Every structure is written in C-alpha cells, then in structure tokens.
Chains A and B, each alone.
Chain A
C-alpha cells in the first residue's frame, strides 16, 4: 500500500488514534492498513454502534471511522450519541450507502465528514487532515525519520 507523510497530533507529536467501527472484519482490516500507512494507530475496533459507544468512552480516540449499516445500532445513531456525550468527537462516516439523504442525516447528527466505499486511501487521507484541522500536523520527511 502507498505510504503517506505521517499525520501526527499537533499537541504532542504522537500518532493519531482511531476507533474503527464496521460490522465487516474485512472492512476493519482494510481501514486499519490505511491508517497505518498514514502513521496512525488503531485505538480500538467495534462491530456495531453500541460497542462503538463503549469503546469511545474507554479509549477517547482522536478520530472515529464509522460505518452506517450495522446490526444492533446503526452508525448514524451511534455517531449522534457519541457527539451528544462528547461534542469534541470527530466522526467520519465511511459507508457504501452514500446517497444525499444519508450524508445529510449523518452530518446533521454530528458527523464531520463522509467517505464513500470503496475507500480510496488518498481520499481518506485528505479527509482526515481536513477533519483534524489544526489539531493534526503532517510530519516532514526529516521529522518522520524518513
């Protein structure tokens, strides 16, 4: 997989920590590989919305990558509940069901962005930099030890 300039947390230079939420093990592994290529770290994984809420409370990740169609609790509802409890949460919806209705619902209920599956690494990378804003910094080659 293509390597990207690492994106670090501005405040301490540590890797950005992610919570990956998807009922597909395949999709979680795929996203985890992309995150590693961005210099990030997987803080936790969840296979449904309910587990996502508890994993967020436990790990306080910098970014949540959240699927929509999942058993028990769907991603949009989980995103809303997380943002209600943690207004600073940065949630990016990652779904193949990317029609306008879903995107608007997700954004209205607290998600920061939407990425359509199949995920292109270069698209996700740009979205993550955008969502992190000033809290994220792209490491230079020298700083990254390349």
Chain B
C-alpha cells in the first residue's frame, strides 16, 4: 500500500484527535498487518468505494473509548452507554471525511459509506493487494488505533485515464 494513500488518513486522525481531545497526539507504532484483523475494543469500520477502495477501522480499548466519549459528552458515561459507540463512529467519520477531502484534491473520487460496528473478534484476512497498516495514536486519554486497508481500483482509474486521453 502506497504511503500517499495512508498519509492523508494519518494527518486527518492527528488533526481530529488533537482538536477533539484538546491535547497533543503522537503517532506511535506503525505496523503492517498480514493476518486477520483482531479487534481491540470498540471498533467502527468505514468502507470506501470509488477510485480507491477498502476500509478504515478506528479501534479503542474499552476504557479508552469510555474516557474519550465521556470527554465529548461532558459527563461520565458507563461502558454500556450507546454514546460510547456513537462517539467512535463519529470520530471515524470525521477522520475518513477529512482524509477523503485531501485525496479528492489529488483527483481521486470516492463514496464514503456509513460506519459499521465491528462485533466479531477477528476480521477478514488482508489480501496481497489490500495490505493493512495499523497506526497507533498516543493521546492524553489512551491509545487510538487506526487500521487502514486500501487499494487502487485499477479499472476505475483506467476508465478515468481513457476519458482524459
């Protein structure tokens, strides 16, 4: 997976998290995921289709998710509160939306799908042309993990090129 696809998501997550959590964030470990995705806690997945396709997962361990959601809500929330899940969904939406804007400026076109809650412990195994990168953001409220698996939709890109030729 090319870094040019990943960088907008890193930038967007950094901006959204540091603004929302009102503290500095640090990009920690980056690791390539070759095996099936293993959920850490409260995880929201957003699919992208278009010139680039794949999915982005934002995943927080339960205590971190509760701290983050409580911060946004302005009140202590129990882990069972549906707002915890909603908060992670909305953060994922904001990260993906902002990253997609940057990629759109580079000429890529997408459709962003509504977020889905990941409930199974394991996701699909990544394939050769859809490698996944796991990025850890260290925030004042705990670690936020973002798993990005994207690939170029060669047919769509070829169609665009043919139309432009």
B residues in contact with A29, CB < 8 Å:
73, 83
Report if B100 contacts A (CB, 8 A).
yes
Residues of A with C-beta under 8 A to B87:
26
Interface size counted on chain B using CB atoms at 8 A: 27
A-B contact count (CB 8 A): 63
Q: In this assembly, does A25 line the interface, its C-beta being within 8 Å of a C-beta of chain B?
A: yes
Interface of B is mostly: helix
Measured between alpha carbons, how far is A4 from B87 in the docked complex, in Å?
25
CA distance A118 to B94 in the complex (A): 6
- Which residues in A have their C-beta under 8 angstroms from that of B114? 23, 69-71
Q: Closest CB-CB distance, A69 to chain B, in whole Å?
A: 5
In the bound complex, residues from chain B placing their C-beta under 8 Å from that of A116 are 97-98, 101
Q: Are B93 and A96 in contact (CB under 8 A)?
A: yes
Query: In this complex, what residue of A is CB-closest to B87?
Result: A26
Instruction: Give chain B residues whose Cβ lies under 8 Å from the Cβ of A95.
Output: 97
**Chain B: minimal CB distance from A12 (Å):** 31
Is residue A86 within 8 Å, beta carbon to beta carbon, of the partner chain? no
- Contact of A27 with B by CB under 8 A: yes
Sample of 9 more A-B contacts, CB < 8 Å, known A26-B69, A98-B97, A100-B105: A1-B74, A24-B93, A30-B72, A30-B90, A96-B96, A97-B101, A118-B16, A118-B19, A118-B94
Q: List residues of A whose CB falls within 8 A of some B CB.
A: 1, 23-27, 29-30, 33, 69-71, 95-101, 116-118, 120
